[in-house]
Structure 1
């Protein structure tokens, strides 16, 4: 069961101004890989205000949301329970 599998991830938290992303994942927040610029995970949270961390390099933990990735190669989705700023970008 996915709810039992806590995951950890790290990257830059971004706010996506993309209606397709919002429609597919139900959120505007994403964790982006700093090397490739690709979305690693869509992010949702009832526990944290993700908007406070936009543009910052973060470490987070949470649970994979069932049903994602919808297609092979698509981003997964994490329900975030804890988030910390790893460092502030220059």
Structure 2
């Protein structure tokens, strides 16, 4: 278990623990037949879209005028991060 404090809600929305997210991913793959690569692609694309929206709305600069560093960890979350970085490279 992580020593990082876990929160259960953010801005009125539930926050998933890593354990809950692993369970949801497992159900998506085992019960619904979704491919892991598909899930990682969707997660990375959504991260890119939300980050781009934040940059456009809050920072009020386009991604080309904003320096973006992408630090990716291990495992599937790291792959999600690499997918998001790829979207920035391809689209901005």
| Category of TM-score, reference length = shorter chain | under 0.3
Higher strand share: 1
When normalised by structure 2's length, the TM-score is 0.23
Rg: which structure is higher?
2
When normalised by structure 1's length, the TM-score is 0.23
